[in-house]
Chains A and B, each alone.
Chain A
Amino acid sequence: MSIGAAGAGGVVGGGEAPHVLAVDDSSVDRAVIAGILRSSQFRVTAVDSGKRALELLGSEPNVSMIITDYWMPEMTGYELLKKVKESSKLKKIPVVIMSSENVPTRISRCLEEGAEDFLLKPMRPSDVSRLFSRMLP
């Protein structure tokens, strides 16, 4: 049995909230990002490392977007981005990188590697509409 997609233009079909995977080693930033996204009706899973993000992506099929901090110990957001884009299963998932530092070479490197967008931290509620436009339908 299939459920028909909602017909009206611009409405997300099926009624399920988009699922965002947030990756940040800071507990404060994870809480802020999750809070901002959840208040806009996104479903959010927040993890503290690139390693955990990849584990989750291996088992969770329906992630609409990955939003990751740049500077993390062990695996940076850039390294996570590369792994996602190298994977045939994951490469279509849009990846947004966040950083507290405005470094043009860092930004262009991430965008060249396939990041959808680069946000300066701290994340604000006003960033959400920008994210939404980058998501998979």
Chain B
Amino acid sequence: MAGAALRDQLSALLSSMFSQGLVDEQFEQLQMLQDEGGTPGFVAEVVTLFCDDAERIIAEIATLLEQPIVSFDKVDAFVHQLKGSSASVGAQKVKFTCMQFRQFCQEKSRDGCLMALAVVRNEFYDLRNKFQTMLQLEQQIQAYDHKQQ
């Protein structure tokens, strides 16, 4: 059955996201809230807002680090924002990288910050791809279920 296959794919994707540490208990709680609280679209809304926010913040940080004189306070403020929103959505790996990134800001290390930026960017892109796949699978499952009714 196509519906079961889609569900299996989604389940396997989510399992791997948890086991690889991409997402944590906070994400699980948001999913449970959606499933048990009858608020369809809640996870999609939060994930989409997070991805838009993270993309904007990463671009701002990149611009700041390109300046001849880096304002580490401003970089730190943006990293703090990204750490906050990643914690709220349950994006564990991104959150942990942000914590390390803040250390480099405290040390006023441009090289350290550039390295941390590269890591956080890769982790975010990886997570965003998986979130996009997750949302596509959910939409396909919903469409399939709707057709069966």
- Show the binding face of A for B, using Cβ within 8 Å: 26-29, 31-32, 35-36, 38-40, 71, 100, 121-125
Question: CB of B39 within 8 A of chain A?
Answer: yes
Complex Cα distance, B88 from A28, in Å, reads 7
Question: CB of B113 within 8 A of chain A?
Answer: no
Question: CB of B115 within 8 A of chain A?
Answer: no
- Show the binding face of B for A, using Cβ within 8 Å: 26, 29-30, 32-33, 36-39, 42, 45-46, 49-50, 52-53, 80-81, 83-85, 87-90
Q: Which of A32, A71, A100, A122 has the most CB of B within 10 A?
A: A32
Chain A residues with Cβ below 8 Å from B33 are: 35-36, 39, 125
Is the Cβ of A28 less than 8 Å from the Cβ of B37?
no
Choose from B26, B29, B39, B81 the contact partner of A38 (Cβ within 8 Å): B39
How would you classify the secondary structure of chain A's contact residues: helix, strand, loop or mixed?
helix
Is the Cβ of A35 less than 8 Å from the Cβ of B87?
no
Closest B residue by C-beta to A28: B85
Choose from A26, A28, A121, A124 the contact partner of B29 (Cβ within 8 Å): A124
Closest B residue by C-beta to A41: B37
Chain B residues with Cβ below 8 Å from A123 are: 88
Chain A residues with Cβ below 8 Å from B42 are: 31, 35
Q: Given that A26-B53, A27-B53, A124-B26 are known contacts, is A39 also in contact with B39, CB under 8 Å in the complex?
A: yes
Chain B residues with Cβ below 8 Å from A71 are: 80
Complex Cα distance, B37 from A32, in Å, reads 13
Chain A residues with Cβ below 8 Å from B85 are: 26, 28-29
